[in-house]
Structures are given as C-alpha cells and as structure tokens.
Structure 1
C-alpha cells in the first residue's frame, strides 16, 4: 500500500486546505494537490494526497471513500503511477518516429 492517494469526484469548490483538514483526522498529511486546468486554473475535479504512513493512508481510504464532501461522493484509493509512453511522445519531439 502506498502513502499517496487519489481523490476523485471532487466538487469544483473544494480547496486544498479543506481536503487537508478532512484527511488530517487520519494522520499526518504530507501534501495535498488538486489538479487544475493550466489555461483556466479551474479544478479538474481530482487530486492527490500524500499521507505520513501506509497505515494512515489505509485509514483515510476506509473512512473517506464514498463519503459526501461539498455535495459530491468522494472516490478515494491508492494512487497509481502514471504510465510513461516515452517512445511516442519523446520521438515526436526529436522528429523521429517508430512504426
């Protein structure tokens, strides 16, 4: 179990401070980041929270997944590493292509 959590289905009005406050009930919150649109700065409706320990992260998942926050039912689970597709993205930048 990882310490980094994915938090989805966030209200666009939810703030990083309010999320941190809610998750501090389960232990030390190392970081909170709500993902925003780079052009508008608006929330994309999901974010990531890093808890201090695996046990704290597990307690946070068990207690908050499916709970209503700001009128939305949260989806909370262990964050997965983003898959890297270096081959297609990096090769396009270099001007070469793999077929």
Structure 2
C-alpha cells in the first residue's frame, strides 16, 4: 500500500520517515518530496508498505500524531490524477512573439 504522509517537519529525513513506519511493519520505500530547484522538503512524502494490514495499522497509529513538532496527516495515497501539460503558459493561448510589441502604445 502506498501511504501519503503530510505536514512533515522540513527537517525530517527519509531515514527518519522509514524508521517511524518500520515500527508497524516492513517498509518497501520512503521518500520525501523536495523542491526541484532548492532541494528543500515540501513537507510531505510517501511510504510504501507491502502488507495492507501493517499499512493500515501504521495509518491508524500515526495519523494526527505529533512527530518532529508537527501533527502528521497520514492516509492511503490516492492515484495521481492525469493533468494537462506542465509549464508556464496555457496551451490554448500560444505566444505570438511577432505581434508582442504591436499594441504597446
């Protein structure tokens, strides 16, 4: 089961996250999501546990529990929704560099 862990302290490491969940069973992976440019934690992550019963025990025990000075938000991760293309400009309004300065005055 893939588990979402939110409201993590920005100082929490992936090893600490793994150890927190290992108290409830085997952990396949533990990852903290980081900002691409700064490398700073975004305050949430994911833990994967192969046993659903152990994962549910971890969710029940850790949801709303204070860890690292923050109350964790722990639940079963939802599948990622497909979204449109990523980037700064919407696809429906292509940039027209040739006419950019036309209406400036």
For the aligned pair, the TM-score class normalised by the smaller chain equals 0.7 to 0.9
- Measured in 2, the distance between the counterparts of 1:24 and 1:83 equals 28
1:6 aligns with 2:9: no
The structure richer in strand per residue is 1
SS of residue paired to 1:59: helix
Which of 19, 22, 29 is the equivalent residue of 1:21? 19
Q: Which residue of 1 aligns with 2:82?
A: 84
Q: In structure 1, which of residues 26, 47, 50 is the aligned counterpart of residue 48 of structure 2? A: 50
Give the TM-score, by structure 1 length.
0.84
3-state SS of 1:26 partner: coil
The CA RMSD measured in Å over matched residues stands at 1.6
The number of residues matched between the two structures is 89
Post-superposition offset of 1:89:
1.6
Structure 2, unpaired ranges of 5+? 93-105
User: Is 1:67 aligned to 2:56, yes or no?
Assistant: no
Larger Rg, first or second structure (1 or 2): 2
Alignment TM-score, normalising by the size of structure 2: 0.80
User: Deviation above 2 Å: which 4+ runs of structure 1?
Assistant: none
Shift of 1:52: 1.7
